[in-house]
Amino acid sequence: MSSILNADLHCHSVVSDGTLTPEELAARAAANGVELWALTDHDEIGGQHRAAAAARANGIKYLTGTEISVTFANETVHIVGLGFDPDDAAMSEGLYDTRGGRGKRAQEMSEQLAKVGIQGAYEGALRFVGNPELISRTHFARFLVEGGYCRDTAEVFRKYLTEGKPGYVPHRWATLKDAVNWITAAKGLAVIAHPGRYKFTANEEYALFLEFKAHGGRAIEVVTGSHTPAEYVEYADKALEFGFAASRGSDFHSPGESHCDLGKLPWLPGKLTPVWELLENRIQ
């Protein structure tokens, strides 16, 4: 399979912090010309059977997907899993545990926001939640926009929900080793999501790539809605340097919020091995 394929292997539905259902996403992906699609909800694979069926109904190919929250060097890193067995019990349990601390974290976020004059944030965020096990910062951001505290969700993150800001509560997620192992033991392939987004030093990023590879990780996202064009070039070079295949995905969450729509991305640079070449026997 060529690198000239409209593959979109990263997006979110109401099963995590997106605003569209898996069925609505599949229809939108098809309308936008996506040929190979994966739904990658945060820490959750509950939407996989629906997404696969909806892809089939819309005549597009499908890979199972998820995006696992990991703590590495005191920073949250996201690991995308593709092409795994969606009924794998160990992976489901691992993800269930990963989702576990979200409720308590959300209540602490709400207490902190109350101290800066924002009342009822927990209840407010809950109104935006589709999956009770998956209350996320994104749902708080939508509540703060609705309440007129900020103009858009990006401003909420800047002012309230990132490290050092009043609504930020640090959290321990899965380990890198566990996340990669859950994916590979379920016959899937692990991908580092949007590597350009982490605030790592060069040494920390190098350690992440090497450890990820040592655990069996095979690819990094190169063309993603979270990268600048300069980062496409930077991470294309790093994929070659470390021997990683390359993935492509919009990270689409919502028509009103996401600046990059499903399937609307530049092609993967031709010199890279597309991740879908390693997953041909997992495509549905």
Residues 13-32 that bind ligand AMP (CB under 6 A): 17
Q: Does residue number 248 form part of the binding site for Mn ion (CB under 5 A)? A: no
Q: How far is the CB of 10 from Mn ion (least distance, A)?
A: 6
> Looking at beta carbons only, is 8 or 67 nearer to Mn ion?
67
Sequence-separated (6 or more) residues with CB below 8 Å from residue 21: 13, 14, 50
Closest to 43 measured CA to CA, from 92, 77, 105, 103: 92
> Looking at beta carbons only, is 8 or 88 nearer to Mn ion?
8
| Cα distances (Å, whole numbers) of residue 119 to 145, 237, 246, 255 | 14, 47, 44, 28
Q: Does residue number 248 form part of the binding site for ligand AMP (CB under 6 A)? A: no
Q: Does residue number 157 form part of the binding site for ligand AMP (CB under 6 A)? A: yes
Of 107-115, 131-139, 241-249, 271-279, which segment contacts ligand AMP by CB under 6 A? 131-139
Q: Which of 113, 253, 263, 275 binds ligand AMP (CB under 6 A)?
A: 253
Handedness of CA 229, 223, 33, 65 (dihedral sign): negative
Q: Does residue number 153 form part of the binding site for ligand AMP (CB under 6 A)? A: yes
Q: Does residue number 226 form part of the binding site for ligand AMP (CB under 6 A)? A: no
Q: Does residue number 137 form part of the binding site for ligand AMP (CB under 6 A)? A: yes
Q: How far is the CB of 225 from ligand AMP (least distance, A)?
A: 11
Q: Does residue number 138 form part of the binding site for ligand AMP (CB under 6 A)? A: yes
Contact present, 173 and 70 (Cβ < 8 Å): yes
Token duo for residue 74: 């005191």
> Looking at beta carbons only, is 50 or 105 nearer to ligand AMP?
105
> Looking at beta carbons only, is 169 or 185 nearer to ligand AMP?
169
Token duo for residue 71: 């703590």
Of 117-125, 150-158, 178-186, 235-243, which segment contacts ligand AMP by CB under 6 A? 150-158
The residue type of 142 is R
Q: Which of 10, 28, 42, 218 binds ligand AMP (CB under 6 A)?
A: 42
Give CA torsion, residues 56, 60, 65, 66, to 10 deg: -100
Most distant CA pair in the chain, distance: 54
Query: Could you tell me where the beta strands, DSSP code E, fall in the chain?
Result: 7-8, 36-37, 61-62, 65-72, 75-82, 189-192, 219-224, 245-249
> Looking at beta carbons only, is 68 or 91 nearer to Mn ion?
68
